[in-house]
Amino acid sequence: MKITAAFAVAVSLVFSAGSLRADENHEIIEKVMKEGLKGDDCPLAKVLDGKATEEETKDLNELIKTMEGTKAPVGDQDAYDEKVAELIAAMDAIAGGDTSTPALDRLDEASNCKACHKDHKPKKD
């Protein structure tokens, strides 16, 4: 009986840790979307319009970097990782001072909501 109880506790802890990680991923992704990428006057829009201050650009860069290592809510993890890496790299270039049209176009493309949502946003019932 002791082995069975210990096994049950271990299994419970594994599933709880997995659930916590999923919740943490959701919270990180949601925070980046809501605080950085959503809306006509969001930090991303300001950066793309050339209206963001240096501090706003730096803050957005740091916010976007929090997505590194998150798990794809749905879909192929490798494809998700590539999209996140490209978003981070594009934002890093801007935060590093490259505000050229190609750099801004790269960030605009990397932050395309529909491209990521199509493959990785869970469908509502």
Domain ranges of the chain: 2-120
Taking residue 11's Cβ as centre, other Cβ atoms within 10 Å add up to: 10
d(CA 122, CA 120): 6
Structure tokens at 35: 């605080």
Predicted confidence at residue 124, as pLDDT, reads 82
Predicted confidence at residue 66, as pLDDT, reads 97
pLDDT in tens, the chain (125 residues): 455 554 444 444 444 444 446 689 899 999 999 999 999 999 999 999 999 999 999 999 999 999 999 999 999 999 999 999 999 999 999 999 999 999 999 999 999 989 889 999 888 86
Predicted confidence at residue 13, as pLDDT, reads 45
Residue 8: exposed, middle, or buried by beta-carbon count in 10 A (0-12, 13-18, 19+)?
Answer: exposed
